Amino acid sequence: MSSYDSTFRDSDASLTRREFLELTAGATLLAGMSTGSWTESNEGVPYRTLGRTGEKVSMVGLGGYHIGSQSDEQESIRIVRTALDHGVNFLDNCWDYNGGASEIRMGKALLDGYRKKAFLMSKIDGRTRKVAALQIDESLRRLQTDHIDLLQFHQIIRATDPERIFAAGGGMEAMLEAKKAGKVRYIGFTGHKSPDIHLKMLETGFSHSFTFDTVQMPLNVMDAHYNSFEQRVLPVLVKHNIGVLGMKPIGDHIILESKTVTPIECLHYAMNLPTGVVITGCDSVPILEQALKAARTFKPMNKDEVASLLAKTAKAAQNGQYEQYKTTHNFDGTYHNPQWLG
């Protein structure tokens, strides 16, 4: 058992019937909040309003980590441009993905007028003003753009991260300076480890009279049962009209190993929550087409449909074995490379 288990509030015991009914009711209530933010569609892909930003973004977003894993750079470019040509406008990336290759390839894909089609998001690891500023400028160069629509602090996974970022000389100073200079339009943060840390980051911001524009976190059929961002963080974001970026809807394909749900069911569950965008990794055009199909065929789920999905995943989700980003360091790039933090 992972050392993280001692910090989790959720019990490893099976859910009681009462707990399961409460969980289902909560998921259904949150799902109902999403319908009011729907707007138009593009190429059949529904668009939603991204919280307090007012920006219209595609229901499904293209994950950036997988843009950089192809052996042929031209294939990476083709995936990005195919997404933009078929209704996706939200692009995800990060300064540290694939040693910078993900940003470099996406930057090339955004040439020839494609930048105008995109709402571009990237992330930085820097916790200090100096390191954050350097990473911001490097991301801009790689992406070949004069501004990033949304820039987020990456991997808020330590209890000390909020204080470091908001301290004098911390990363927030660089982020605010970049926004003032027109390099960044909106500011958010992301993490996958613990709802407690997300809540601390939000509270630290509030204590400094700062409200994040967006927050990114795992939202999926397993998270609903275990140390849940959906149950604990999502209501806070909805209350403050902070844009919700759902990630890991399929858990980097690990959720599929449970053999309880299909990829489309996973994507539909996350889309049914009050998410502005559901970000999913697409390492090939066929996987991208699967994500597009999920967005185009999505219909709001009723309480019975939500209950059915949660019932199928309840047992498999108990110990977090299909959410290794919560229970191990396997997904923690900044843990293995602390120099990225500064």
Residue 21 lies inside a defined structural domain of this protein: no
DSSP 287-299: HHHHHHHHHHH--
Crossing angle (nearest 10°) for helices 285-297 and 73-85: 20
Considering the chain, what percentage of its residues have pLDDT values greater than 90?
Answer: 87
Total domain count for the chain? Answer: 1
Q: Which of the four pLDDT bands, split at 50, 70 and 90, describes residue 10? A: very low
Q: Which of the four pLDDT bands, split at 50, 70 and 90, describes residue 35? A: very low
- When pLDDT is averaged across residues 257-267 and rounded to a whole number, the result is 97
Residue 78 lies inside a defined structural domain of this protein: yes
Q: Which of the four pLDDT bands, split at 50, 70 and 90, describes residue 1? A: very low
CB 103 within 8 A of CB 141: no
pLDDT at 6 over 50: no
The mean-pLDDT minimum among 9-13, 139-143, 201-205 falls in 9-13
What pLDDT score was predicted for residue 40?
77
Q: SS3 for 35?
A: helix
What pLDDT score was predicted for residue 19?
53
Q: How does pLDDT run across 98-115, given as a tens digit for each residue?
A: 999 999 999 999 999 999
Q: How does pLDDT run across 165-210, given as a tens digit for each residue?
A: 999 999 999 999 999 999 999 999 999 999 999 999 999 999 999 9
Domain around 71? 37-336
Q: Which is more confidently placed, 222 or 33?
A: 222
Residue 3 lies inside a defined structural domain of this protein: no
Residue 207 lies inside a defined structural domain of this protein: yes
Residue 172 lies inside a defined structural domain of this protein: yes
Q: Which two tokens stand for residue 199?
A: 């809540």
> For the domain that residue 160 is a member of, what is the CATH number?
3.20.20.100
Q: Under 8 Å CB-to-CB from 33, ≥6 apart: which residues?
A: 238, 274
Q: Which two tokens stand for residue 30?
A: 């949150």
Residue 73 lies inside a defined structural domain of this protein: yes
pLDDT at 14 over 60: no
pLDDT at 5 over 80: no
- When pLDDT is averaged across residues 124-152 and rounded to a whole number, the result is 98
Residue 303 lies inside a defined structural domain of this protein: yes
SS percent in the chain: helix, strand, coil, step 5: 50, 15, 35
